Amino acid sequence: MNKNIPNISAFYHSINIESPTLTKQSNGEDVKSWGVFLSTMAAIQVNKVNEKAENNMLYSDDTFNFYIRTKTGINRKMRVVYNSDYYNIVGIITIGRRYQIIKTKLVE
C-alpha cells in the first residue's frame, strides 16, 4: 500500500459528502440546500491547527484530510459532514486509482 495512505483499519469514520442545490422560492429568491452525494467510511488526519486571537476572541483555523476510496464527481463546491461539523472542501488529491485525499477546512 502507498505510504501516504493510512492503514485500512483507520477507515472507521462515517462521513457524508454533500452537494449544493439551488431552489427557487415562491418570491423568486434562490436558496441553497444540501443533499447527500456520498456516504462512506474515511480515515481522518488533522493537517494543522492554528489558533489566533482577534478582538479578544480566539479563532481556530483547523484543516483536516479525509482519506476515502476514490469516487468520481467530488468537487470543491461540495462539503464534508462529520460528527455534525461541516468542512468546506479546499482540494482533492487522487492517489493511484483507489484512494483520494479530500483536503478540508472546518466551518466555524
Q: Using one digit for the tens of pLDDT, what is the confidence trace for 24-81? A: 888 888 889 999 999 999 999 987 666 666 677 666 677 899 999 999 999 999 999 9
How far is C-alpha 5 from the chain's CA centre?
Answer: 17
Ranking 4-8, 36-40, 71-75, 102-106 by mean pLDDT, the lowest is 4-8
Fold of 8-106: Thrombin, subunit H (2.40.10)
**Taking residues 84-105, what's their average pLDDT?**
94
How much is the average pLDDT of 85-91? Answer: 96
Show the cell assigned to 76.
470543491
Distance CA 17, CA 1 (A): 25
Q: Is 0.85 surpassed by the pTM of this model?
A: no
The x, y and z cell numbers of residue 48, run together, are 494543522
- What's the pLDDT at 48? 65
Can you tell me the distance from the alpha carbon of 11 to that of 68, in angstroms, rounded to the nearest whole number? 8
